[in-house]
Chains A and B, each alone.
Chain A
Amino acid sequence: MQQFPCPFCGLRNEQEFHFAGEAGKTRPDTMKEVSAEQWSAYLNHYNNPMGKTCEIWVHLPCQEYFVMQRDTVTMEVFASEQIRKDLK
């Protein structure tokens, strides 16, 4: 069982977290023309890299959404950072 660093709570057990997506995706502005390809990429295309990856996770008990860098092979966790930038 892994331990993930919630930026607010610190290390907690993996069971308290949910994966919420790959980091770096931006929702297309749907008030403008969005092509089927763009929308499909937004919904379905994941890089799913082997090794270092950057993902969005949520710590369920405190509902903090954050970006975590980790290694999918060694399970090493490098850093986590809150998703909201304004409160630093």
Chain B
Amino acid sequence: MSGFRVQNRGLIDRHKTLSFQFDGKSCTGHPGDTLASALLANGIKIMGRSFKYHRPRGVWGAWFDDSNAIFNISLGAIQLPNCPAATTYLEDGMQARSVNTFPSARFDIKGVLDWFSPFLPAGFYYKTFMRPNWHLFEPTIRKMAGLGKLDGNIIEEYQSDQIHQSCDLLIVGAGPAGLAAALSASQKGSSVVLVDDHDIAGGSSYQQQSNIENKPASLWIRDQIAAIAGNGGRILLSTTAYGIYDHNLVALIQDSGFGHAPRLWRMRAKRILIATGAIDRQITFANNDRPGIMSAVGALEFLGRYGVLVGKKIALLSNNSHTQNTANLLREAGAEVETFDTGDNSPVAIGGKKLRALNIDGKSHSCDVILASGGLTPVVHLWRHGGGRLEWNEAIQAFIPAQATTGMRAAGAANGIYELDEALADARAAALDQPSPKVQSAYQIKALLPDINSKKRQWIDFQHDVTVKDIELAARENYSSVEHLKRYTTLGMASDQGKTSNMAGLAVMASLQNRTISEVGTTTFRPPFVPVPFELYRGVKRQQLFNPPKRLALEAEHRNVGAAMGEYGGWLRPAWYGDDDPHNTIRKEVISARTHVAIIDASPLGKIEIMGPDAEKFINFVFYNTLTTLKPGKIRYALMLSERGIVYDDAVITRVDQNRFIISCSSSHVEGVNNALEGWRQDGNDPDRIFVHDTTQNWATITLSGPKAGELLSKLDMSIDLSPDAFPHMTFRQADFLSVPARISRVSFTGDPSYEISVPTLHASALWSAIAKAGKSVQAAFIGVEALSILRAEKGYIIVGKDTDGETMPHDIGFSQPRLRKESAFVGDRALHTHAANGQNRRQLVGLMVKGNECKIVTGAHLIDQSGSKPRSIGYVTSSYDSPTLAHPIALALLENGTARIGESVAVWNQGDIRQATIASACFYDKGGGLLNA
């Protein structure tokens, strides 16, 4: 027990007491406390265990610069893992447990691992568990490692709010520099956003009990805030800028309290000012990881913000002038303080879970806390995220911001300016984008050189137990580049992100190699600056909003007649109708379509209109098939290729008149086809003579297919002559349906006579009702996408992307003529005449048959050649169904040289089982095509 609460200090609300538990022990705190400050006030020093050796750990820093105390916290029904104790505000009833410990941080069974540390150097796991296979060991090692535990419960309302905003100037850090800058900029009329990760503005001013510009600090801060707000500036508290991304996009996470999802601000700033202050650097000395060894700046933070004195008998070890006042402040608060210079002799901390003394210069000085200050270190992480460069400043022994991309500045302590008045002047100049005033710094610091020859363990990364010896080993094994060093030793990884360990690690590497720290350089700083929960990025994009399908205008009508809606190509469409066994239902739907007439909602089919005087020339170029010969009122099937000659989509193209075509492409390819058309239109054509309108969603389409399709259509009274001579297959008519324009295309995706009737979507319901009503007399049936898939497969009609793949060219699926005969250029033309395109073993579309009493082949099964010493895949099954029409299974497949092998037998391999199938033409139904013209 060493820390305690002192009177008249801190910003906490002492009128109210909050109760909480830590590792089962009851404690109290006050509003305004963090878990770390409350625990210190309760005299608790051990708050966690290190990752690798399970050594006891206390807090090092008072804010984001602590990676030692990480808790699982539950409050009511909510449990969250991996909460940093130093930045999590205390709430009444919290139950905190240190992570990575059992049964508690104070008595951790795995602490025994520390005894084996001589056998667990850096790279131990890499080297030891490489053979025979890391994956054998991984589960056990992962279990030993790991931090917080997820409780598996989903917090229903835990949904982050994500907002886009922009501003002229974003200032990160509402310390004295940030506040001064915000006021200056807002006075000039800039839109200013000032963010700070604490829940109260003021930054480092709570550490020193001094005036700012001749006013008590709290008064000065209050005045600045009022003036900024008066000028229209905005201050976001409890908000951390955790990353700067390209083109000045700053990611802000705003804390909403424990158990509430944080808010994400995507802030686009014209200019950014980094006023993030400076943190204390650790000192590398023997046993420097013991609980009770803390940052000197951190100790002042605990005192100034939370009224907690970290110890009674404090040894203050420092190499810099910034701590001159620290001892006085601590003494005033009631501590006994002895100060020590780092000197030339490496100090040694004495004690285990409880610190007993600091040995230095041959003498032992008893103490319960050692404050180590290795020098102020500007917080430059965001500066580097934003692409700013760093330079080593020998005088202050720190990396400070140098050149930056346009629009980013640093000011105050973050800029290496530690004196208050100079920092304020610097900040005001930066706010107005004026040059910084010249500063004569009074700050003094001695270079810290770690004793690399010491036999004792000196710790660099407290979270991962990286010691000086580990860095030595890394250097010896030539992992001397800082980026290699980091990965080999895990130095500065995880939540620390180098905040505390980076400088100490660099100093060791510099000493080992007789280089300067600036020559060693720093690792890359990457977002996030502090750990952020995954939830931050999910937001509302979950459940029904994760990947919502498009909805049909007729969805209610389909559901009314029992449709089982399913997702097909981005649309929610009827899969089948009714509640009976789906297989049986789908079979019945197919039979109805073949014997009477089927009613299909085909609204998702593309309707892209190409208009203009150059439309014909354009469409003839973009599609594989010759379309210049297509007459108005006629329809042609065509393929769209990529420039590589691969089939991208198939479409039926209607020529409405000389200057107007309608492309009915696949439902799921509308956007892609539209984009491809638009690309060709603007590149190499006169875009004033061709226009592409995607009108797909303006039209609802209902297809009637089957022997009685014409009969049903005639009942709709649209005054069209439906005789096959007057309205033959592959032609188009415009008509009126209840005084709205209707289009009727006689095309078929089933092999039976079919009519696609389209009306504006707002009238879809009327058309549906009329068809449903008229359909009763001809035994019409609603059929879903599943039945349609069977119907088209029976006829051998492909679905591009299912029955074709990324190698399929048009001649592989039976369309060879344009390749050989087309007289004008078209997309993909040259690619159809390459060596590969002419190859003998191209995979071609074929049908497969098995005996009627056998079960169908599995889709995706390989077709194999067993003639060699090893079986070889020569193709695969793309579609496979039990054909209700033919009463035997059918399949479509892509098979090497398949067309020439029709009639032969082929071996079909599926998960080790081999069976035989007969290769057939891809068309099983009405091979002559006579029905289509009926």
- Return the contact of A29 from the options B266, B686, B825 (Cβ within 8 A): B825
Instruction: Given A2-B246, A58-B675, A75-B247, check contact A36 B834 (CB 8 Å).
Output: yes
Q: How far is the CA of A67 from the CA of B678 in the complex (A)?
A: 15
- Return the contact of B682 from the options A18, A74, A83 (Cβ within 8 A): A83
Q: How far is the CB of B739 from chain A (nearest CB, A)?
A: 34
Q: How far is the CA of A34 from the CA of B830 in the complex (A)?
A: 7
Q: Quick one: which of B822-849 are within 8 Å of A by CB?
A: 824-825, 829-831, 834-835
As a 0/1 sequence over residues 640 to 679 of chain B, the CB contacts with chain A under 8 angstroms (1 = contact) are 0001100000000000000000000000000000010011
- Does A1 touch B at the CB level, under 8 Å? yes
- Does B687 touch A at the CB level, under 8 Å? yes
Instruction: Given A65-B683, A84-B687, check contact A30 B830 (CB 8 Å).
Output: yes
As a 0/1 sequence over residues 231 to 269 of chain B, the CB contacts with chain A under 8 angstroms (1 = contact) are 000000000000001110100000000000000001010
Q: Quick one: which of B698-741 are within 8 Å of A by CB?
A: none
As a 0/1 sequence over residues 1 to 38 of chain A, the CB contacts with chain B under 8 angstroms (1 = contact) are 11100000000001000101000000111110010100
Among A34, A64, A84, the one with the most B-chain Cβ atoms within 10 Å of its Cβ is: A84
CB of A43 within 8 A of CB of B643, answer yes
CB of A63 within 8 A of CB of B830, answer no
**Chain A contacts of B266 at CB under 8 A?**
1
**Chain A contacts of B835 at CB under 8 A?**
36
CB of A86 within 8 A of CB of B686, answer yes
**Chain A minimum-CB-distance residue to B248:** A3
**Chain A contacts of B688 at CB under 8 A?**
86
Among B246, B268, B387, B687, the one with the most A-chain Cβ atoms within 10 Å of its Cβ is: B246
Q: How far is the CA of A75 from the CA of B246 in the complex (A)?
A: 7
Q: How far is the CA of A66 from the CA of B425 in the complex (A)?
A: 45
- Return the contact of A58 from the options B247, B405, B679 (Cβ within 8 A): B679
Q: How far is the CA of A27 from the CA of B827 in the complex (A)?
A: 10
Q: How far is the CB of A62 from chain B (nearest CB, A)?
A: 10
CB of A65 within 8 A of CB of B679, answer yes
CB of B247 within 8 A of CB of A1, answer yes
Q: How far is the CB of B827 from chain A (nearest CB, A)?
A: 9
- Return the contact of A31 from the options B644, B683, B824, B834 (Cβ within 8 A): B824
CB of A30 within 8 A of CB of B687, answer no
CB of B643 within 8 A of CB of A30, answer no
Instruction: Given A43-B643, A43-B831, A83-B682, check contact A30 B246 (CB 8 Å).
Output: no
Q: How far is the CB of B690 from chain A (nearest CB, A)?
A: 12
Instruction: Given A1-B247, A30-B830, A75-B247, check contact A20 B679 (CB 8 Å).
Output: yes
**Chain B minimum-CB-distance residue to A56:** B683
- Return the contact of B678 from the options A39, A63, A76 (Cβ within 8 A): A63
- Return the contact of B644 from the options A43, A58, A86 (Cβ within 8 A): A43
Q: How far is the CB of B300 from chain A (nearest CB, A)?
A: 38
Instruction: Given A31-B824, A74-B387, A84-B687, check contact A39 B830 (CB 8 Å).
Output: yes
Q: How far is the CB of B593 from chain A (nearest CB, A)?
A: 39
Instruction: Given A30-B825, A39-B830, check contact A1 B687 (CB 8 Å).
Output: no
Q: How far is the CA of A31 from the CA of B834 in the complex (A)?
A: 15
**Chain A minimum-CB-distance residue to B249:** A1
Q: How far is the CB of A32 from chain B (nearest CB, A)?
A: 10
Q: How far is the CA of A42 from the CA of B502 in the complex (A)?
A: 48
**Chain A contacts of B682 at CB under 8 A?**
63-65, 83-84
**Chain A contacts of B830 at CB under 8 A?**
28, 30, 34, 39
**Chain B minimum-CB-distance residue to A76:** B405
**Chain A contacts of B686 at CB under 8 A?**
86
**Chain A contacts of B152 at CB under 8 A?**
none
- Does B684 touch A at the CB level, under 8 Å? yes
Q: How far is the CA of A20 from the CA of B825 in the complex (A)?
A: 21
CB of A74 within 8 A of CB of B247, answer no
Main secondary structure of the interface of A (DSSP, over half): loop
CB of A30 within 8 A of CB of B245, answer no
**Chain B minimum-CB-distance residue to A64:** B682
**Chain B contacts of A56 at CB under 8 A?**
683
**Chain B contacts of A60 at CB under 8 A?**
675
Q: How far is the CB of A22 from chain B (nearest CB, A)?
A: 13
Q: Quick one: which of A46-72 are within 8 Å of B by CB?
A: 56, 58, 60, 63-65
Q: How far is the CB of A41 from chain B (nearest CB, A)?
A: 12
As a 0/1 sequence over residues 326 to 365 of chain B, the CB contacts with chain A under 8 angstroms (1 = contact) are 0000000000000000000000000000000000000000
Q: How far is the CB of B391 from chain A (nearest CB, A)?
A: 19
Q: How far is the CA of A63 from the CA of B675 in the complex (A)?
A: 8
**Chain A minimum-CB-distance residue to B406:** A76
**Chain A contacts of B687 at CB under 8 A?**
84, 86
**Chain B contacts of A3 at CB under 8 A?**
246-247, 249, 268
**Chain B contacts of A14 at CB under 8 A?**
246
- Return the contact of A39 from the options B247, B387, B825, B834 (Cβ within 8 A): B834
CB of A30 within 8 A of CB of B679, answer no
CB of A74 within 8 A of CB of B405, answer yes
**Chain B contacts of A76 at CB under 8 A?**
405
**Chain B contacts of A20 at CB under 8 A?**
679
**Chain A contacts of B824 at CB under 8 A?**
31
Q: How far is the CA of A83 from the CA of B679 in the complex (A)?
A: 10
Q: How far is the CA of A75 from the CA of B247 in the complex (A)?
A: 8
CB of A30 within 8 A of CB of B829, answer yes
Q: How far is the CB of A35 from chain B (nearest CB, A)?
A: 10
**Chain A contacts of B643 at CB under 8 A?**
42-43
Q: How far is the CB of A1 from chain B (nearest CB, A)?
A: 5
CB of B675 within 8 A of CB of A39, answer no
Q: How far is the CA of A58 from the CA of B682 in the complex (A)?
A: 10
**Chain B contacts of A64 at CB under 8 A?**
682
Q: How far is the CA of A34 from the CA of B643 in the complex (A)?
A: 14
Q: How far is the CA of A28 from the CA of B682 in the complex (A)?
A: 17
**Chain A contacts of B683 at CB under 8 A?**
56, 65, 83
Q: How far is the CA of A51 from the CA of B266 in the complex (A)?
A: 27
**Chain B contacts of A28 at CB under 8 A?**
830
Q: How far is the CA of A63 from the CA of B245 in the complex (A)?
A: 26
**Chain A contacts of B675 at CB under 8 A?**
18, 58, 60, 63
Instruction: Given A39-B830, A74-B405, check contact A1 B678 (CB 8 Å).
Output: no
**Chain A contacts of B829 at CB under 8 A?**
30
Q: How far is the CA of A58 from the CA of B683 in the complex (A)?
A: 11
**Chain A minimum-CB-distance residue to B834:** A36
**Chain A contacts of B387 at CB under 8 A?**
74
Q: How far is the CB of A9 from chain B (nearest CB, A)?
A: 15
**Chain B minimum-CB-distance residue to A44:** B644
CB of A39 within 8 A of CB of B831, answer yes
Q: How far is the CA of A31 from the CA of B824 in the complex (A)?
A: 7
Q: How far is the CA of A68 from the CA of B834 in the complex (A)?
A: 33
- Return the contact of A2 from the options B247, B644, B684, B825 (Cβ within 8 A): B247
Q: How far is the CA of A14 from the CA of B829 in the complex (A)?
A: 33
Q: How far is the CA of A56 from the CA of B246 in the complex (A)?
A: 20
Q: How far is the CB of B824 from chain A (nearest CB, A)?
A: 7
Q: How far is the CB of B524 from chain A (nearest CB, A)?
A: 14
Q: How far is the CA of A22 from the CA of B265 in the complex (A)?
A: 34
**Chain A contacts of B684 at CB under 8 A?**
27
**Chain A minimum-CB-distance residue to B678:** A63
Q: Quick one: which of B527-556 are within 8 Å of A by CB?
A: none
CB of A1 within 8 A of CB of B825, answer no
Q: How far is the CB of B512 from chain A (nearest CB, A)?
A: 32
Q: Quick one: which of B378-397 are within 8 Å of A by CB?
A: 387
Q: How far is the CA of A58 from the CA of B831 in the complex (A)?
A: 25
Q: How far is the CA of A58 from the CA of B387 in the complex (A)?
A: 27
Q: How far is the CB of B161 from chain A (nearest CB, A)?
A: 18
**Chain A contacts of B247 at CB under 8 A?**
1-3, 75
Q: How far is the CA of A18 from the CA of B679 in the complex (A)?
A: 11
**Chain B contacts of A58 at CB under 8 A?**
675, 678-679
**Sample of 5 more A-B contacts, CB < 8 Å, known A58-B679, A74-B405:** A31-B825, A39-B831, A63-B678, A75-B246, A84-B682
Can you list 6 A-B contacts (CB < 8 A)? A3-B246, A3-B247, A39-B830, A63-B675, A63-B678, A83-B682
Identify the 4 closest CB pairs spanning chains A and B, nearest first: A2-B246, A65-B682, A30-B825, A3-B247
Q: Which residues of B contact A (CB under 8 A)?
A: 245-247, 249, 266, 268, 387, 405, 643-644, 675, 678-679, 682-684, 686-688, 824-825, 829-831, 834-835
